Amino acid sequence: MQQLATLNPQPAASPAPARPGATMLPSVPASHAMDREFIERNQIVERYLAGRLPLKGAQDFEAFCRQNPQLLDELGLSSRVHQGLRLLEAGGIALPWEPAAPAWWAKLPYFLGLALLAAALGILALVLDSRLAQRSHALALEQRLAFEQPLQPATSTGQFPIVPSRTAPSRSPVAVVGGSQTQMADFKIDMSWSKYTAYRVSIDRIDQGRVEVLYHQLRDSNGIVRLALNSSALGPGDYQITLEGLTPFGDVIPQAWTTVGIRH
């Protein structure tokens, strides 16, 4: 083997204090000729790969390898590097030249899922906003119409004889008033079978609320309780009429129910 380079002698420096618990490894002698025997005996390759060589020793070893590249093959350095890379790959650790693995949320499937979810939520928000705007507009329009709509004069009169239910209220109207023209509706409710002569009459718009309460409505000699109203006085919908008999002591006793429809 040809004559190898020697390390240049350096002025002696005070040794760095050893860390507690650290293993003391032999340093590279500054005046010793670095050859294969020296490298193998002092485990220079292992210490270099593990990063345990002092700075000067590492620099001298690198300079020696540049001058004697054939020694790298003789020492089997490439096979050791390949073995280390295989260990990294088996352990699932990215190789030094590979880019770092992206975070889970940055991977394509997760990114596409998040994008689709965001798009779906955006569309849902737009649909809900549109429906809310339409509902608010319709409510404002009905409120304005209810406030501005005047009472229309009746152009016709309708007679509506009604036989009410004695057992329970019904949602189906027995008579429909109005339509294309305003009508004065005369409801004739047959109460001839009841023992009461005076009644409290309540009018409720179904599924909304009470419209009117009429006290002491008397039936005539034929047992008919009469109610007359202008069809434009009430909004379109179905109205439940409840008749309750009045006792001499002011108590109310449910007697009959009927339902009428108002159309505009």
CA pair distance 160, 167, nearest whole angstrom: 21
Q: So what's the pLDDT on residue 148?
A: 59
Domains and CATH numbers, the chain: 36-90 (no CATH), 156-263 (2.60.40)
Contact (Cβ atoms closer than 8 angstroms) between residue 255 and residue 245? yes
**CB–CB of 52/20 below 8 Å?**
no
| pLDDT value at residue 93 | 67
Residue with tokens 């009117």: 212
Give the separation between CA 145 and CA 257, rounded to whole angstroms.
30
The end-to-end CA distance of the chain, in Å, is 116
Which H or E element spans position 38? helix 36-41
Output the pLDDT for position 23: 42
The conformation of residue 25, written as its DSSP 8-state character, comes to -
Q: What is the pLDDT of residue 196?
A: 94
**All residues at 6 or more sequence positions from 104 whose CB lies less than 8 Å from its CB, including other chains:** 110
Quote the pLDDT of residue 101. 63
Which burial class, exposed, middle or buried, applies to 242 when counting CB atoms under 10 A from its CB (0-12, 13-18, 19+)?
buried
Q: State residue 111's pLDDT score.
A: 76
Tokens of 26: 């032999």
CA 114/CA 255 separation, integer angstroms? 63
Model pLDDT, residue 147 = 64
Kindly list the averaged pLDDT for each block of 10 residues, start to end, along the chain of length 264. Answer: 40 44 45 70 79 82 81 72 70 64 70 86 91 87 68 82 92 86 89 94 92 92 92 87 92 94 86
pLDDT of residue 213: 93
What does the pLDDT read at residue 74? Answer: 72
